[in-house]
Structure 1
Amino acid sequence: MSNFLRLLISVIVAFSLTFLTLSAHSSPILITKITVGDFLEFGVDKMRRGDYQEAIKNFNQAIELEKDLAVAYSDRCLAYLQLQDYHQAIADCTQSINFAPDNSEAYLNRGLALYRQGDYPGAIVDYNRAIALKPYDFRAYYNRGLARVGDEKDSEAILDFNLALTQIPQVGSLLLADIYNDRGLAHLVLQDTQAAMLDFNLAIRLNANDYRAYFNRACACGRYGDDFGAVRDFSQVIRLNPSNAQVYVYRGVARYQLGYHLGAIADLQKASEYFENQGKRVAYEKTLDLLKNLRQQISSVTEIALF
């Protein structure tokens, strides 16, 4: 064998050995196993981002790994609640309770699903169970109060709202405003207008941008016969929620009561335009009828005044 050939073979062998050596000592590929906890964490993160369908997929994967994992069913229930699939939300909460009977969150969430389905007595039963497990959870008292309002038990609802206010931690003022606003509505239904006004004032003081509180206070002003106050608050509602056609109707009626006929007509015309654009045909036609009657009444008053 020639010297050149021997040299060539030695180079090839050396290269091959070097290659194999490098391969043998290169970093291995790590395969990480995804755990149940990982899937739960992924699902919660998707929930925070508003991607509820993907969150459900993650919770499904967690359940596939651990069939009796109560927290996975409870978390998946929250995603179904956001998607307004109340039947599935109830099923998930029930399954969670079967695996963990002391899971107060599952009772709380199932109560919410029942409430949104209009099953107020069923919701109250679940909130009772949540309160029995956690007597200091203001959410259960507040939600039970809302369910009692739906069940036309306003006096009991007020007691629940009071309990919620005594148990609520130092959180943001917006939640406090919601409780005062809802308690005010219960007072208004019970015709305690003065107490209702106090609550609506507190709600507005805590959240000056809550158009619902202004609307409710406007209705309370109407009960008092304070049409000026009603117009003021309806105007605030329109400022905060300008496409609310119904409020233009209410303000138009209040303006008519005050003798502001042109303003009343303008409000009803605006309301009819919004109703038509929103495809609310029945409301549109009723507003046109109201506008026609209003014009006739204004015309009659003008004719009498001329004589």
Structure 2
Amino acid sequence: MIELALQSLMLKMPQPTNTAIMVIGGAEDKVHGRDILRSFFVRAGGEDARIAIFPCASREPVVIGERYHTIFTEMGAKAIEVLNICDRAQCNDPILQEYVRNCTGIFMTGGDQLRLCAMLSDTPIMEIVRTRAQSGSVTLAGTSAGAAVMGHHMIAGGGSGESPNSSLVDMTLGLGIIPEVIVDQHFHNRNRMARLMSAVSAHPDLLGIGIDEDTCALFEGDGTLQVLGKGTVTIIDPGEMTYTNRAEVGLADPLCICNLRVHILSQGCRYDLNKRLSASCPQ
């Protein structure tokens, strides 16, 4: 009896996978090759995957949740639950917490990053998600709004197509899953370079990560970032920034930011987050 009980327990426990945190720039291919979504599926355990979908960033969570449920069902996932959290009190539900604690993949959809944070920040479920993602015991993916929330500091909104200036970006607190980065999504597609530079100038201890549509910055457990998809990942490193006039000019005045280091990486390129060096470029 004890042996059977242990076997049953082992079947319920997450099996080891090549986990990662997948930060997706939005508009990932959901129809044809589905390469990024398939990579998430594989890293979540493939046919043994037990996936939790968080659609609560969306204004149509039922529709968007069902769309991803269908995709991962077609891929062959073992179990899929859409956790349509529309009230913070639901995050105290022990049944939901147990599923999040034992699933092998977590997917946060697009929508409004402020809405997503309002539902999940400082809740028991979010603590489980963050702890498991940081320890490498689950594969976590977030697309669009689900990507924006990854840092401790988060871009809540702003403009595009201007020179860098302080009024170009609205900042707030994210979910702190990868606290050392500021993420911007739909990046080159919506001309957000100046927006991310403006954000980084205010937080020179953090890396700016700009991710194009149908593109993923895949954070591995060994401290490297790998690029997947059709676009690019732009990394803005202010570690050697020598000067900014941010404190001396008005909110709408152009910023001077000296000695930023910029990397633009495409499919297959790698970046060492600890050394802050691209593994794909001669040093």
TM bucket normalised to smaller = 0.3 to 0.5
Q: Which one has the largest radius of gyration?
A: 1
TM-score computed with the length of structure 2 as normaliser: 0.34
Bigger RCO (CA 8 Å, 6+ sep):
2
Which has a greater percent of helix? 1
